[in-house]
Amino acid sequence: MNITETVLVINSGSSSLKYQLVDPNADGSVASGLVERIGEPISHITHTSGDQVVDEEKPVADHSDALREVLRLFDEVGPKLSEANIVAVGHRVVQGGRHFDSAKIVTDRIRDLIAELSPLAPLHNPPNLKGIDVARELLPDVPHVVVFDTAFFQSLPEEAATYALDKDVAEKYSIRRYGAHGTSHQFVSDRVAEIVGTKDICQIVLHLGNGASASAVKCGKAVDTTMGLTPLEGLVMGTRTGDIDPAAVFHLQRVAGMSVDEVDTLFNKQSGLKGLTGDNDMRAVRSRADSDDPDARLAIDVLLHRLVKYVGAYAAQMGALDVLTFTAGIGENDMMLRKELCERLSLFGVELDEAANAIRSKEPRTISTPNSKVQVLVVPTNEELAIAQQALALIK
Ligand code: AMP
């Protein structure tokens, strides 16, 4: 293995453990894998190292067993961790509340602060913590670093972070806009600054994946974002509503007799593209729209309408729009969506270069014409690399 140092990046979910061994200096993934259905009778494990792909089905009782399986696979299939010069383990944590505006080395105190934030992210922080706890136990000799999805948005001005809610209630229950996907928005907006040669620009990043969010970044600092207290707010997503009148909750409780948990599941898991079409995968929705399926067409139009609204709002808030960037699964791959959105942004002088837009590539690229008043880019996101780079920078 010709690498100088690596970071093991761990993303621990409620029943899954995703990992990647990253060489942060070479921008590269050395090996990666996923343990799924942890705690169920049969779990599924995949591990990829170079050309080798291992697929196993076996019971994995809990996150500790899951990480033991991962360490076994590194040992049996490679690369051997003892030879990989791991300098840190990087953990993704969804909610950092107001405590964290940057990555941190894990100590018992930091661990406890993350636990304290669990009420704000009950579906995410507890499983993130499980990953941290088992990794600290099984890999005690390297520093562990936590990278927060919310950290990049701690720079939001108060007027963007504050809901117009009773002040005391908001304060008592920590209700404000924290944002999410921050690691991706920071990584992509930094790349944009490198590509255009300056941070002193007003840019909007559209992270359009199964989860979707937009951010407004002015001179390198996030000034607004679409996700709020939780990742539910904002754009139309694979299974989430995005913005919806909160009175719909009261209505469903009063009129449909739904419980809080039922509404939570409806809004987070059964809405968005899935709710509108039955499919949460944009490829399926796109191919149905191409065959004139009216539900699929409406779903894409609702998604576009919301995007136009936020691009317009963010441009107005920043007072300018220099660069608009697409990233994540849909943003990087759905050229038709990029074209449809850019056509709706002619007010801003956006001019798409159709040939450039049609190129498929894993490289960052400009897809607007030289005359376009806004430079439009596609910049692939890489959250694992971003976590590895932040971890490395911190321990150095
Ligand atoms: P992510 O969450 O970033 O992995 O993105 C997942 C989303 O990207 C899913 O909705 C996929 O359907 C979508 N996606 C991936 N490839 C394409 C493609 N070629 N065209 C349209 N959507 C795509």
Over residues 338-388, the pLDDT tens digits come to 999 999 999 999 999 999 999 999 999 999 999 999 999 999 999 999 999
Looking at the predicted structure, is the pLDDT value of residue 311 above 80? yes
Over residues 265-306, the pLDDT tens digits come to 999 999 999 999 999 999 999 999 999 999 999 999 999 999
Looking at the predicted structure, is the pLDDT value of residue 2 above 70? no
Going from the Cα of 27 to the center of ligand 1, the distance in angstroms, rounded, reads 22
pLDDT for 123 = 83
Q: Which mutation among 183, 276, 334, 357 tests ligand 1's pocket best, with the greatest number of atoms within 8 A of CB?
A: 334
Asked whether 303 and 296 are in contact (CB, 8 A), the reply is: no
Q: Is the peptide bond before 119 cis (omega within 30 degrees of 0)?
A: no
Looking at the predicted structure, is the pLDDT value of residue 3 above 70? no
Looking at the predicted structure, is the pLDDT value of residue 1 above 70? no
Using a 6 Å cutoff on CB, does residue 330 contact ligand 1? Answer: yes
Closest ligand 1 atom number to CA of residue 335: 20
Over residues 5-31, the pLDDT tens digits come to 999 999 999 899 999 999 998 878 999
State the catalytic residues. 149
Q: Which protein residue has the closest C-alpha to ligand 1 atom 20?
A: 334
Average pLDDT value for residue range 27-52: 94
pLDDT for 27 = 76
Using a 6 Å cutoff on CB, does residue 283 contact ligand 1? Answer: yes
Q: What is the pTM of this model?
A: 0.95
Over residues 159-218, the pLDDT tens digits come to 999 999 999 999 999 999 999 999 999 999 999 999 999 999 999 999 999 999 999 999
Spatial separation of the C-alpha atoms in residues 153 and 230, rounded to whole Å: 13
Kindly report the average pLDDT of the chain as a whole number.
Answer: 96
Using a 6 Å cutoff on CB, does residue 279 contact ligand 1? Answer: no
Looking at the predicted structure, is the pLDDT value of residue 137 above 60? yes
pLDDT for 211 = 95
Average pLDDT value for residue range 243-256: 98
Average pLDDT value for residue range 313-326: 98
pLDDT for 122 = 87
Going from the Cα of 381 to the center of ligand 1, the distance in angstroms, rounded, reads 13
